[in-house]
């Protein structure tokens, strides 16, 4: 079955970086894109950006420009999201989700989520 499995929870200090992985299985990785979505405690869903697994094209949410980088490794069908200069308000559950190869489209399925806690 189509599945996205994410890396485990992280605790980081303010100013540090975090890199979350998302391993895909059950489908042709390069035929889709991967979006990243985060959810702060008790809050709604915030789209962070998208990467095409076909050609590596990216589009990032404006508020995260300059702090986020999304990459893929097609040899292992894994997507990565790196967030730098972490602040306390980056504390959230981070999800990867399969989406369209050109960036538009619905998300299905989603990874199980990775809790990133930013605390001194």
Residue numbers of the site for another protein (CB under 8 A)?
A: 35, 37, 44-47, 50, 59, 62, 95, 99-100, 103-113
Contact 92, 38 (CB under 8 A): yes
Residue whose CB is less far from another protein, 54 or 107: 107
Q: How far is CA 32 from CA 27, 28, 54, 75, 102, in A?
A: 9, 8, 7, 15, 8
**CA 84 – CA 35 distance, rounded (Å):** 18
Q: Which two tokens stand for residue 34?
A: 């991967």
Residue 54 DSSP SS3: coil
- Smallest gap from Cβ 45 to another protein, in A, equals 4
- Smallest gap from Cβ 120 to another protein, in A, equals 26
- Smallest gap from Cβ 24 to another protein, in A, equals 14
- Smallest gap from Cβ 50 to another protein, in A, equals 8
Residue whose CB is less far from another protein, 83 or 93: 93
């Amino acid at each position: 079955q189509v599945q996205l499995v994410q890396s485990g929870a992280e605790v980081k200090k303010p100013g540090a970086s975090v890199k979350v992985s998302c391993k895909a299985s059950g489908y042709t990785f390069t035929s889709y894109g991967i979006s990243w979505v985060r959810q702060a405690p008790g809050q709604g869903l915030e789209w962070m950006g998208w990467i095409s697994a076909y050609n590596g094209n990216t589009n990032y949410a404006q508020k995260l420009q300059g702090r986020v980088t999304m990459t893929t490794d097609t040899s292992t069908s894994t997507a990565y999201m790196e967030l730098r200069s972490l602040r306390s308000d980056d504390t959230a559950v981070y999800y990867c989700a399969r989406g369209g190869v050109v960036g538009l489209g619905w998300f299905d399925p989603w990874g199980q989520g990775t809790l990133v806690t930013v605390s001194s």
